[in-house]
């Protein structure tokens, strides 16, 4: 690690006790290799709920004229894996995550899914140590700028939802994803091809099927070049 846990907490803007912080940073791959110690997955579950509520509350209060559908899209963008991973990279979270040897060899510290899950675990840890008000303040300090950043919202857009709506409105046929995987289990890479009405519209790659499908949907959206997404 090139920075200390104290440095990480300064960037997060909160202090966490050593035990809770370590738990929040313990990936299941590390726990498995070290005798089945507790992982950060329960904290992730808790943090996910706090994140969703905090962003939903802010959107409801700050955008009184937006309809429910647009509020949902914005929430989806801000709490997406890509958005959370982006914030985690800015904070340097990756270098502090406890990973198993397999994940270390495949650069797990920079995998979007691992970074996003760890961010949610850190939010959960903040809640356990300080309560809901401090946890919500942390969420809005870190994620709040994305609510008004059009570029960030565009980068974090749930492209699968937009493609689904686009296909339905133009009767292009069902949206299907043909996903294949390659490589060993500890370094699996997936490729997705988005199909509509039997025609391929986009491709994507990722460390999970979900990431590959999301990238394929974004690729298809750019190729179709519909009207820009409002932000």
Residues placed in the known binding site: 44, 117, 120
Give the pTM: 0.70
One domain, residues 193 and 171:
yes
229 is a domain residue:
no
Decide if 167 is inside a domain: yes
Q: What is the pLDDT of residues 134-183, one digit of tens each?
A: 999 999 999 988 887 644 555 556 678 878 888 888 888 899 999 999 87
Per-residue pLDDT of 126-136, as tens digits, reads 999 999 999 99
* Interval 52-90: pLDDT, tens: 999 999 999 999 998 887 788 788 888 888 889 889 999
**12 and 59, same domain (yes or no):** yes
> Which among 148, 173, 208 is the end of a domain?
148
The CATH number of whichever domain residue 108 belongs to comes to: 1.10.1520.10
Q: Give the percent of the chain with pLDDT over 70.
A: 91
User: What average pLDDT score do residues 212-226 get?
Assistant: 79
Range of the domain at 119: 5-148
62 is catalytic: no
On whether both 38 and 83 belong to a single domain, the answer is yes
- 153 occurs within a structural domain: no
Q: Are 87 and 144 spatial neighbours (Cβ–Cβ below 8 Å)?
A: no
Report if residue 230 sits inside a domain: no
In sequence order, what are the residues at sequence separation of 6 or more whose Cβ sits closer than 8 angstroms to the Cβ of residue 49? none
Of 14-23, 156-165, 186-195, the range with the highest mean pLDDT is 14-23
Pair (164, 144) in one structural domain: no
Annotated binding site for Mg(2+), which residues? 44, 117, 120
Catalytic (active site) residue 133: no
Domain end position, chosen among 120, 148, 176: 148
The pLDDT of residue 229: 43
- Active-site hit among 7, 19, 48, 149: 48
Shared domain check, 212 and 178: yes
Residues 59 and 112 in one domain: yes
Helix (H), strand (E), coil (C) string for 135-185: HHHHHHHHHHHHHCCHHHHHHCCCHHHHHHHHHHHCCCCCEEEEEEEECCH
Q: Which one of the listed residues 103, 120, 211, 219 is annotated catalytic?
A: 120
Count of domains observed in the chain:
2
Q: State whether 134 and 58 are in the same domain.
A: yes
Alpha helix segments (H runs only) across the chain: 5-12, 18-24, 28-33, 41-62, 68-78, 81-91, 101-105, 112-130, 132-143, 150-155, 159-169, 209-224
């Amino acid at each position: 690690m090139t920075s200390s846990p104290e440095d990480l907490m300064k960037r997060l803007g909160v202090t966490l006790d050593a035990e809770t912080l370590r738990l929040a940073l313990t990936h299941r791959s590390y726990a498995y290799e070290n005798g089945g110690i507790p992982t950060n997955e329960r904290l992730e579950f808790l943090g996910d709920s706090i994140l969703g509520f905090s962003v939903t509350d802010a959107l409801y209060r700050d955008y009184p004229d937006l309809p429910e559908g647009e509020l949902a899209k914005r929430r989806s963008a801000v709490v997406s894996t890509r958005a959370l991973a982006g914030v985690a990279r800015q904070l340097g979270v990756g270098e502090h995550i406890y990973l198993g040897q397999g994940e270390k060899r495949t650069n797990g510290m920079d995998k979007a899914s691992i970074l996003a899950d760890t961010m949610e675990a850190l939010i959960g840890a903040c809640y356990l140590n300080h309560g809901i008000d401090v946890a919500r303040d942390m969420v809005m300090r870190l994620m709040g700028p994305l609510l008004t950043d059009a570029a960030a919202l565009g980068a974090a857009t749930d492209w699968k939802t937009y493609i689904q709506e686009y296909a339905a409105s133009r009767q292009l046929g069902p949206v299907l994803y043909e996903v294949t995987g390659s490589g060993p289990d500890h370094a699996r890479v997936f490729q997705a091809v988005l199909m509509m009405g039997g025609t391929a519209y986009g491709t994507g790659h990722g460390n999970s099927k979900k990431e590959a499908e999301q990238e394929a949907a974004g690729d298809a959206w750019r190729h179709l070049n519909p009207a820009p997404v409002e932000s």
